[in-house]
Amino acid sequence: MEGTTRAERALIALRQRILNGDLSGGTRLFEVALAEELDISRTPIRAALSKLAEEGLLDRAKGGGFVVRSFRLPDVLDTIELRGVLEGTAARFAAERGVTKAALTQARDVIQQIDMALSGHEIDLDQYSKLNQQFHKLLVQMAQSDALAREIDRVTSLPFASPSAFLDDAASSDRLQRHLSAAHEQHRAIIDAIANREGARAESIAREHSRASRQNIIFLTRQEGSLRDGAPPLEILST
């Protein structure tokens, strides 16, 4: 149990250092130095590094060890585009194959909870992010395809490719309010299309929905100062 706790602590600490830019792309990571710095043994450090490599934040170096990956903005945008294609396919599968009333009720309950998260003077961004992730998981489940679920899980494993990536910017801004409200209306439209067995429409809306994340990243990377301060993953991107 203690070993698991230490491995998780190392994973969280190293992931955060990568995402906030403290460990820049190309940095070679050494188990001994990290173990001394974090005051834990090499075994949990080794486990954390392997996990970060699975997440796509590290590359295995020639001759052993790990190197922090560098990410180009065009590659990130392509990844989000790919997520849109896969989630569009999931929405089409769900509409064509049909889903249970219970599944539709569950999705609409999440939509109502998101309505509440967006209804205040200031957005409850933590709640929105959790519910948004939940909605996208339900969408994948509705597709009834293990193969598709595996591919979506692989694509969204990188921090910047998940549906809620890059949402931590200026929660009180009018721009973010408009952005999230528009994206949420697409949530509602996707479920309506699935319920009505409109496969092509469900796929089209889901693919367009992913472009909201793409547009948000483009907007944030063009900003300076406060709008970028709340989005640490931007630090690992290069143009």
CA 237 to chain centre: 15
Predicted pLDDT of residue 236: 66
Cα angle for residues 102, 113, 130 (degrees, 5° grid): 95
Write down the pTM of the prediction: 0.74
Predicted pLDDT of residue 222: 67
pLDDT along the chain (239 residues), means of 10: 67 83 86 91 92 87 87 84 96 98 98 92 81 96 97 81 62 70 95 98 96 74 52 60
What domains can you pick out in the chain, each with its CATH number? 2-69 (1.10.10.10), 72-238 (1.20.120.530)
Q: 158: closest CA among 3, 15, 10, 14?
A: 15
Coil, strand or helix at 107: helix
Predicted pLDDT of residue 2: 45
Predicted pLDDT of residue 19: 74
Predicted pLDDT of residue 193: 98
Would you say the C-alpha torsion 45, 51, 52, 53 has a positive or negative sign?
A: positive
CA dist 161 and 156 (Å) reads 5
The structure tokens listed for 14 are: 């190293």
The DSSP code sequence of 190-234 is HHHHHHTT-HHHHHHHHHHHHHHHHHHHHHHHT--THHHHT-GGG
Neighbours of 75 (CB within 10 A): 13
